[in-house]
Structure 1
Amino acid sequence: MKLHNLKPAKGSRHKKKILGHGRASGHGASSTRGMKGQRSRSGGTKAPWFEGGQMPLLRRIPKRGFTNQKFKIEYYLVNVDTLENIFETGTEITPELLYEKGLIDNMALGVKILGDGEIKKSFRIKAHKFSRTAAEKIKAAGGTYEEIGISAKQAG
C-alpha cells in the first residue's frame, strides 16, 4: 500500500445535496420539501416550545416568589492575601489603584474586600464594602479600612 493508492472507504463520501437547481438535479422544483403546507414555506417552522395551541407549560405554572436581581449591587471581589502579595506596607489602596494594577476590570462596579488568606502588612484601604473577616484581619495587621459610598451607577 502506498500513498497514491489510498482512497476513502466506500460509502464514506457523499455528494453535497444541491437544492432548487432544476428538475434534472433530482432536487429541483419543491427542493425536497414536499408539496404545500407550513413546512414547505420559508420560515415555516414552529417554535420549539409551541405545543399546538395548548396552553404552554410556562403559562400553566403559577409565578412564585420575588426577585430583586434588577437592583442587585455587584462588586469585584478582592481577597486580602492578594493585596498582601501585590502592595507594599503602608500603601493607600483605592479602587483606582486596584484598576491600575489590573485587579478589577473597570470602575463601573464596586469593590468588596474579602478575608481569604493571611495579611501581615498594614494598609490604608478604601473600598465600597468589606467582609467581617477582612475588616478584622486588616485591623489585626495594624491597617485601617474605610467604606466609601457606592455611586449612582452601581446602585442601579
Structure 2
Amino acid sequence: MQLNTIKPASGAKHAKRRVGRGIGSGLGKTAGRGHKGQKSRAGGFHKVGFEGGQMPLQRRLPKRGFKSASLKFNAEITLAALQKLEATEVNLVVLKAAGLVPEIARNVKVIKSGELTRAVTLSGIGATAGAKVAIEAAGGSLASNA
C-alpha cells in the first residue's frame, strides 16, 4: 500500500445533493420542496411537536408526578453492610471510602435490613426507627449532627 493509493471504502463517500440546477438533475424548479406552503419557503419551519395550530399532544395530556432534584444526593445503607464494615466510628467519609455510598451522596440513612451484632457509633448519618433500635441494642449509638 502506498500513500497515493489510499482511498475510502466504496460507498463511504457520496456526492453532495445539488438542488435547483435544472430539469435534467431531477431536482430542478422546486428543488425537491414540492409546491407552496410553509415548508417550501426559506426559513419556513416550525418547532418540534407543532401540529398546525391544533393543541399539541404534549399540552393535551395532563401533567402528572414529580421527580425531586435532590433525590440523587440521598443514599441508603443496610445493617448488614454496617456489620461487614470494620470501622467502629462510621461517618459519611468512611462510607464513601469503603464504596458503600456514591461519591455524590450528601445524606445517608441506615435502614433495618440484616443483622448488626457489634457496636458502631454513627455520626452525621440518619437511621430509620427500626435501625436505631437495632443499633442501640447492639451497643452502638447515633450522634446525628446532619
Looking at structure 2, the residues matched to 17 and 44 of structure 1 have their Cα atoms a distance apart, in angstroms, of 26
SS of structure 2 residue aligned to 1:148: coil
CA contact 2:77–2:110 (8 Å) conserved in 1: yes
Equivalent residue, structure 2, for 1:34? 34
Provide Cα deviations, 1:62-104, integer angstroms capped at 9, x if missing partner: 778x96946779521111111111225xx11011111222222
Using the size of structure 2 for normalisation, the TM-score is 0.64
Deviations 1:125-153 (CA, angstroms, capped at 9, x unpaired): 1234211111111112111112222xxxx
Aligned partner of 1:20 in structure 2 is 18
- What's the offset of the Cα at 1:22? 7.5
**Aligned-partner Cα distance in 1 for 2:41–2:100:** 53
TM-score (norm: length of structure 1): 0.61
The answer as to whether partners of 2:73 and 2:105 remain within 8 angstroms in 1 is no
Structure 1: gaps spanning 5 or more residues: 1-12, 150-156
3-state secondary structure, aligned to 1:20: coil
RMSD (CA atoms): 3.7
What amino acid is aligned across from residue 136 of structure 2 in structure 1? Answer: K
Which stretch of the first structure deviates more once superposed, 44-53 or 22-31? 22-31
Structure 1 residues 61 and 34, CA gap change in structure 2 (3 angstroms): closer
Is residue 94 of structure 2 the alignment partner of residue 97 of structure 1? yes
User: How far 1:109 sits from its partner (Å)?
Assistant: 1.6
The 3-state SS of whatever aligns with 1:111 is: strand
Q: How many residues were matched structurally?
A: 132
Identity of paired residues, percent? 34
Matched, 1:134 2:131: yes
Q: Secondary structure at the match of 2:142?
A: strand
